[in-house]
DNA sequence: ATGGCGCATGGAATGCGA
């Protein structure tokens, strides 16, 4: 079972990159972030024609998340239960017996800002909901998306200077997710040094590999031993008018799922 | 090095992303 995540930075602009990537890679599940369109503008027909069902929670201009899958997503949930939020940043659904949680985590803008406080509150609400409700109800759970956190020093270019996305409180919030019993699947496998998932459009960042690893796929304990590979696919980042994020792909062995 | 890009809104200039 292939499960992927990709911040497309406008589904409207990136639709053809998405369709080409789906055709070339055929994941069973793809979590999308930053749709930047309302539900009525979601390109459902094109995605259905590509062989995918979709659960989506869109919004004008900002945010918007979706789960695409080759079998129909079930028990669809939008937003973190109990957390009042106008921003469409979370969608969950069950696909082939695996609970998929797709998140577009807040950016936070700058330490000490209102947006930073919102980021930490959002992360706290997510963690509590996963620990108290989602994980007990769904032992086979995948948390995938744009976390807007580079968890460790190895996840930033060595010359990286900023504070946001790498600050101690953000990294502590990431560790709190790990302490729920989740595993960062990318680090289960040997990876090339300086592996990132996002590069700024400016400064020739992609050419210089001046990036961050902020897009992640975490799995619950019951799925950990089934992980076979996790990679960043830089291919679509090289296209004309790319998203600034690259897809991350997890290969999960579900051959023992009936046991 | 935070400027420089790209996207959205709205129809120019601004807000925002990360």
Q: Find the nucleotide nearest A60 (Cα to C1′).
A: B8
Measured CA A138 to C1' B18 distance, in angstroms: 32
Order of strands across the sheet with A248-252?
A: A53-57, A65-69, A29-33, A2-7, A248-252, A227-232
Answer for the pair A248, A4: CB distance below 8 angstroms, yes or no.
yes
Question: Does the nearest atom of strand B lie within 7 Å of A17's Cβ?
Answer: no
Alpha carbon distance A110, A165 (integer Å) = 9
State pLDDT tens for residues A149-159.
999 999 999 99
Q: For this structure, is A146 an active site residue?
A: yes
Measured CA A190 to C1' B17 distance, in angstroms: 30
User: pLDDT 10s digit of each residue in chain A, 259 long?
Assistant: 999 999 999 999 999 999 999 999 999 999 999 999 999 999 999 999 999 999 999 999 999 999 999 999 999 999 999 999 999 999 999 999 999 999 999 999 999 999 999 999 999 999 999 999 999 999 999 999 999 999 999 999 999 989 999 999 999 999 999 999 999 999 999 999 999 999 999 999 999 999 999 999 999 999 999 999 999 999 999 999 999 999 999 999 988 764 4
Q: For this structure, is A210 an active site residue?
A: no
On the 0-12 / 13-18 / 19+ scale of CB atoms within 10 A, A222 is middle
Question: Does the nearest atom of strand B lie within 7 Å of A35's Cβ?
Answer: no
Alpha carbon distance A138, A161 (integer Å) = 39
The predicted pLDDT at position A256 comes to 73
């Amino acid at each position: 079972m292939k499960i992927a995540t990709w911040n497309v930075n406008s589904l409207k602009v990136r639709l053809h990159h998405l369709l080409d990537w789906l055709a070339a890679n055929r994941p069973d599940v793809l979590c999308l972030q930053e749709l930047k369109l309302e539900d009525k503008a979601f390109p459902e027909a094109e995605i259905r024609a590509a062989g995918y069902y979709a659960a989506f929670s869109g919004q004008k201009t900002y945010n918007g998340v979706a789960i695409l899958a080759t079998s129909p997503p079930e028990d669809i949930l939008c937003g973190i239960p109990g957390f009042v939020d106008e921003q469409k940043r979370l969608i969950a659904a069950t696909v082939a017996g695996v609970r998929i949680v797709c998140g577009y985590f807040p950016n936070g803008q700058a330490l000490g800002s209102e947006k930073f406080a919102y980021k930490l509150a959002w992360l706290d609400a997510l963690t509590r909901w996963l620990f108290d409700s989602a994980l007990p109800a769904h032992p086979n759970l995948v948390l995938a998306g744009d976390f807007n956190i580079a968890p460790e020093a190895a996840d930033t270019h060595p010359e990286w200077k900023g504070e946001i996305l790498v600050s101690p409180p953000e990294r502590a919030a990431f560790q709190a997710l790990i302490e729920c019993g989740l595993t960062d699947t990318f680090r289960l496998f040997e990876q090339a040094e300086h592996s990132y998932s996002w590069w700024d459009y400016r400064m020739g960042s992609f050419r210089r590999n001046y990036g961050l690893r902020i897009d992640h796929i975490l799995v619950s304990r019951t799925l950990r031993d089934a992980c076979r590979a996790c990679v960043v696919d830089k291919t679509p980042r090289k296209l004309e008018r790319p998203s600034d994020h690259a897809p991350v792909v997890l290969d999960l062995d579900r051959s023992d799922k009936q046991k």
